[in-house]
Amino acid sequence: MMALKLIVLLSLLLFFSHANSWAGGGPENVFLVVNQNSPESLTVANHYIELRKIPPTNVFYLAYPPLKAATSGPEFTLHVLDPLFKEIEQRKLTNQIDYVVYSTNFPWRVDFGKSFPGETFPREMNPIVSPTSATFLYAFIQHKRKEMMNLGANFYCAPFNPMFVASRGFRSSYRWSLGGRRAGAEGLPYMLSAMLGVTSVPGNTVDEIAWYLKRAAGADGTSPKGTIYYAKNDTIRSTVRDKEFPDAARLVQTTGVRAEIFTGFYPLNKSDIAGVTCGHSLVNPAVSKSIHLPGAFCDNFTSAGGQFLPNKGQTCISEFLRLGAAGACGSIVEPYAIPMKFPNASFNVHYVHGCSLAESYYQSVSAPFQQILIGDPLCQPWAKIPAVKLKGLENKAVLAGKVEFSATAENAEEGVASFRLFIDGSLHEESRPNDSLELDTTTLADGYHEIRVVAVDSTPIETQGRWIGEVTVKNGTDAIQLSINKDSLSPASGQLVLNLFATTAVPAEVYGNGKKLGVVATGTGHLSVGKLKIGSGPITFQAVSTGEPQLRSRPVVAMIPWVKPAAP
């Protein structure tokens, strides 16, 4: 009761003056944090940016020690959390960011003991927190509230209801009260968060991470013809939560998705795994001879699933990802078999309702602080994704002056609530269905611009669909062009050479996936960039002149080969 009173007290103390968050659940709502000191982090991010079409404006390159597996709460707050939230605000993205996603080579374990000097925590409330949970619970950290370790700290999560599970879309501007109910200013805010992968042993390789992220992105809206499996056995890792399995399986089946409860530790010889909920220290999925479908989420209730340390003697969540799962969660410290620290049985119900992987996860874990979420948080295999079409604006159009156009959407389950216009990744305008959108090109730089129109449906999940295209603005006579020296793409070359030509002799900045690579002083010339500084994989390069009028080149996409770092 005392813990509950503390959480209610916290909800009364917190008040944040966010702007309304108008859209969530898509690439425009992701803030991707990349460790610029790590070629692996850069490479994984490059693949994810391409797969998910993350706008360059939403990518943040942060310098951090690349081989640091653990850190303290004050250090993580000072060097990671504070800078990223400050950057979101400075870029004027506060009203559209709902997910903070870390690439690789960030700590997977954060000790918040030093953040609360003089406090004594029971062993089951050990203040060892994952970076994804620390980010989700950022409001507690900003206000120095130890209740982040409370078993009911996540108000977005509702207790499992055996009769009915209400699924709700997430927005960072929303406030939540106990039981997963929307609230006013007195409620608690959160921020969805996940890590794309961990590369330290026994984690996954860069190639494995890129592969399972590709499978996850391809699973969206496919309604996999697979089975959700619930493993039941007589160990405490099962008995603390398997009483919910029959009702959960029934609720999954009411959506038309198969669900099966079996006695054992892991599905054996199955070719249709769309998800697994299990509990055992060693489930060894690699020898199960089972096939994990794209989009599958694996949840194993055990002590060390999220501890990326060799020879722990328990199955690490990297094993599920290695077999192609879209995501998995695991404990970073001994959780003491407390079921509130793991997803309750509603996870798969939210997932088959069409929620994203991250929305489903955080709606089902009331005390996430000791769990780490790894994988693709945007994956939504059972979503009914609206198909957006435009009238009055064509892809690759050359535009001048003001342009008025409209949007429609097919396959929206209960109609469309609104359309949002994004220009170069930033939210520009919102319209109701049947209203027009306007693009005033006189306010834009001449040259290339990316246009996105996002439809948000009228369901409580607020599923999105989008049209992504490009236009060339031509209100003046000047232009800038970017190309890549083909010889520099060779794996033997450690430098990438970019060529610029501009009709005006003003400085031009060159970017690769949103990362500033350098400046060509006269707008025309060459720029040489070390490949280790940009990572490998697909990278989109663009040049932007800094003069008046500003000019933007057409982007160039190149596949950069892996360059092995020199031995220390």
Using 50, 70 and 90 to split pLDDT, how confident is the model at 347? Answer: very high
> How many angstroms separate the CA atoms of 544 and 449, rounded?
11
Would you say residue 131 lies in a domain? yes
Q: Residue 23 pLDDT more than 70? A: no
Question: Where is pLDDT greater, at 411 or 196?
Answer: 196
> What integer pLDDT is reported at residue 312 of this predicted model?
86
Q: Which of 319, 342, 375 delimits the end of a domain?
A: 375
How is residue 500 written in tokens? 């610029």
Q: In what order do the strands lie in the sheet with 525-530?
A: 480-484, 495-502, 525-530
- Residue range 224-244: mean pLDDT, rounded: 96
- 392 with 302, same domain? no
What confidence tens digit (pLDDT) does each residue in 36-72 have?
999 999 999 999 999 999 999 999 999 999 888 999 9
- Residue range 223-251: mean pLDDT, rounded: 97
Neighbouring C-beta atoms of residue 173, cutoff 10 Å = 17
Would you state the torsion angle of the CA atoms of residues 503, 508, 510, 514, taken in this order, to the nearest 10 degrees? -110
> What integer pLDDT is reported at residue 22 of this predicted model?
32
- Is-contact 191 94, C-beta < 8 A? no
Would you say residue 449 lies in a domain? yes
The model's pTM: 0.94
- Are β-strands 99-102 and 192-195 bridged in parallel, bridged antiparallel, or unpaired? parallel
Alpha-helical runs (H) found in 97-235:
131-136, 138-142, 206-218
**Whole-angstrom Cα Rg for the chain:** 24
Q: Which of 412, 441, 473 delimits the end of a domain?
A: 473
What confidence tens digit (pLDDT) does each residue in 274-330 have?
999 999 999 999 999 999 999 999 999 999 999 999 888 899 999 999 999 999 999
| Total domains, the chain | 3
Range of the domain at 411: 387-473
> What integer pLDDT is reported at residue 568 of this predicted model?
56
> How many angstroms separate the CA atoms of 340 and 368, rounded?
8
Q: Residue 565 pLDDT more than 90? A: no
> How many angstroms separate the CA atoms of 271 and 248, rounded?
22
> What integer pLDDT is reported at residue 130 of this predicted model?
98
What confidence tens digit (pLDDT) does each residue in 112-166 have?
999 999 899 999 999 999 999 999 999 999 999 999 999 999 999 999 999 999 9
- 430 with 489, same domain? no
- 224 with 325, same domain? yes
> How many angstroms separate the CA atoms of 182 and 560, rounded?
45
- Is-contact 158 150, C-beta < 8 A? no
Mean pLDDT of the chain: 93
- 334 with 420, same domain? no
- Residue range 332-347: mean pLDDT, rounded: 96
Would you say residue 381 lies in a domain? no
- Residue range 439-462: mean pLDDT, rounded: 96
Would you say residue 565 lies in a domain? no
Q: Which residues contact 483 (CB under 8 A, 6 or more apart)?
A: 498, 499, 556
* DSSP secondary structure letter of residue 79: I
- 85 with 107, same domain? yes
- Is-contact 269 289, C-beta < 8 A? yes
- Is-contact 278 235, C-beta < 8 A? no
> What integer pLDDT is reported at residue 567 of this predicted model?
59
> What integer pLDDT is reported at residue 400 of this predicted model?
96
- 466 with 490, same domain? no
- 346 with 398, same domain? no
AA letter at 290: S
What confidence tens digit (pLDDT) does each residue in 503-523 have?
999 999 999 999 999 999 999
